[in-house]
Structure 1
Amino acid sequence: MNAAFFLSLHVLAAILTIGPVAVAASMFPRYVRTAPQEPKAPAILAVLHRICRVYTVIGLTVPAFGLATAASLGVLTDAWLLTSIGLTAVAAAVLLLAVLPQQSRALAALDGPGTAGPANYTATTADDSPSTAGAATAARLGAATGVFNLLWAVVVVLMIVRPGSTTGV
């Protein structure tokens, strides 16, 4: 298979899988903040979390096609690619170890044992008030999601600029 084919698959996979995760994860904190007052928030949060989980798994195709592209281009040892691979691994770790677990905890707090919906949003904070808990959870989620999105932005720039490449950029 040629490099153009793998590159096309890599770019399509990135757009169609990383994009939805970035958008859904970015929307999640807003609905966590409004959950106590918004009756539809728990359902919206559940859908956003599902999008993040499902597209994370499908997103494994992005590095697979990326490695196939790099191998076909003979750039597997280039510094820009190794940096991109490292940043991709860090972004994946942020998603798997921070964003998705915090989303799960926020959903569990909304639908705790014997509760039903946003009126029972009981995540705890120092003053144990639901509105403060929602704001704190949203802030943590926003920060983790921001780091995830920033890492992907840097990877995209590295993929386009490719330091030392012959593209003239």
Structure 2
Amino acid sequence: MTKFLLAVHVLAAVITIGPVTVAASMFPPTARRALAEPGNAATLAEARTLHRICRVYAVIAVVVPVFGLATANSLHVLSSPWLLTSIALTAAAAAVLGILVLPRQSTTLTVLDGAVDQQVAATTRRTVGRLSMHTGLFNLLWATVTVLMIVRPGSTTGA
């Protein structure tokens, strides 16, 4: 059963978190292009699609920690410091995505959908700049969790 749980956990991570990290990273440059070319329907559609990917896959990604906890329970490592650190970093990544990235993407799309005057466009450009930073933080947190899952300090596998 442990192998099944681990397989589902890893597959869910690859299938759900991968697209979110890529789409979130692609959103800021796309939004900048859309701000620079008001009325470009293709660029706006691309930004909307990237935001939708982030939203949908973020919800589906809830299965990753669920199966991760089930796997950890079956391996009896729930109290291991590396796992507790990974749980905390996963929670932090989810918070960054839910509190900082997705709302700013949504706000940017709202501005792009409406008539943009110069002052609003300038403010939105700064927001997109911060969005790039928050997306980088989100990606860094996930990269750290991935490394912890692979290295597993104190592992008996010798990895």
Is this a same-fold pair by TM over 0.5? yes
Q: Where does residue 121 of structure 1 map in the other structure?
A: 116
1:147 aligns with 2:149: no
Q: Distance in 2 between matches of 1:29 and 1:137?
A: 9
Q: Distance in 2 between matches of 1:155 and 1:92?
A: 12
Q: Distance in 2 between matches of 1:15 and 1:133?
A: 35
Secondary structure in structure 2 of the residue aligned to 1:35 = helix
CA RMSD of aligned residues (A): 1.4
Q: CA deviation at 1:110?
A: 0.9
Percent identity over the alignment is 58
Amino acid at match of 1:30: P
Amino acid at match of 2:51: H
1:8-48 CA deviation, whole Å, 9 max, x = no partner? Answer: 00000000000000000000000111113161221111111
Does the 8 A contact of 1:32 with 1:134 survive in 2?
A: no
1:93 aligns with 2:95: yes
TM-score under structure 1 normalisation?
0.88
Q: Where does residue 116 of structure 1 map in the other structure?
A: none
TM-score under structure 2 normalisation?
0.93
1:18 aligns with 2:17: yes
Q: Distance in 2 between matches of 1:137 and 1:42?
A: 17
For structure 1, which segment, 7-16 or 135-144, has the greater mean C-alpha deviation from structure 2 after superposition? 135-144
1:47 aligns with 2:67: no
Gap runs ≥5 in structure 2:
none
Q: Where does residue 115 of structure 1 map in the other structure?
A: none
Does the 8 A contact of 2:111 with 2:124 survive in 1?
A: no
* CA 1:44–1:121: 2 relative to 1, 3 Å: farther
Amino acid at match of 1:86: A
